[in-house]
Homo-oligomer: A and B are copies of this chain.
Amino acid sequence: MDHAKPLPAYLVQRYHGWKATQYAENSAWYQRLATEGQRPRAMVISCCDSRVHVTSIFGADQGEFFIHRNIANLVPPYEPDGNQHGTSAAVEYAVTALKVAHVIVLGHSQCGGVQGCLDMCEGRAPELEESSSFVGRWMDILRPGYEEVKDDPNMPTALEREAVIVSLRNLMTFPFVEEAVKAGKLSLHGLWTDIGEGGLECYDPKTKAFSPI
């Protein structure tokens, strides 16, 4: 690997600032986290989008949330085919090894991945339909969701919310998730946040709708 570069100077400076303040003031906690291991209460599945910081929204500190972030906060269905499934690995580790009490799927407004899926499903993005498109193949996970909401006038929001529901549904296809949920050891939660308004909505299975918390 000959191409790695030094870290930009402004990040070096900010790191040293963090070390001398946030770290220094909490070093006992960091050391205990290192020695005793993590014991997060919840797993969060969130988007890579730079505008969505779940740690900020929930004031979470080091050690609270086990966080997986991928394009459009998607969970694929259970498929134990021996291939590499990064999201499934993260879910497996959180539920079976860390035994988290909650899995929270957090969707959001203005999601570029969901918009790409919508364009693809409506025939406007042939490049995403090519088998070599990683984003296209990844967003295939949401195709069944598109079928559910394609007539909804409130696009792409409806599909962003559906991405949360699809992920929750797919989570339940994992035997260890289903077992933990049924045993009352794990609860699942679906959220959608509006970036511009700072809104947060929670999925309610009774009304089959999202409502502000």
Q: Tell me the A residues contacting B by CB distance below 8 Å.
A: 1-41, 43, 48-53, 55-71, 74, 76, 80-94, 97, 99, 101-102, 104, 109-110, 112-113, 131-135, 137-141, 165, 168-169, 172, 180-181, 184-191, 194-198, 200, 202-205, 213
Contact = CB atoms under 8 A, between A and B. Distances in A.
A4 B203 contact: yes
Chain B CB within 10 Å, residue with most, of A22, A104, A112: A22
Contacts of A99: 32
Contacts of A38: 49-51, 112
29 contacts: A1-B169, A1-B205, A3-B188, A4-B205, A7-B189, A7-B213, A8-B26, A11-B58, A14-B59, A15-B58, A17-B18, A18-B56, A23-B198, A26-B101, A26-B187, A27-B198, A28-B101, A28-B102, A28-B184, A30-B195, A34-B110, A34-B197, A36-B39, A50-B66, A55-B56, A67-B69, A68-B70, A89-B135, A93-B135
B202 A58 contact: no
Contact of A205 (B3, B22, B82): B3
Nearest to A167: B1
Within the oligomer, what is the number of copies of this chain? Answer: 4
Contacts of A197: 30-31, 34
B22 A135 contact: no
Given A1-B165, A3-B205, A20-B24, 6 more contacts: A6-B25, A7-B202, A8-B25, A20-B20, A34-B194, A34-B195
B51 A172 contact: no
Contacts of A20: 17, 20-21, 24
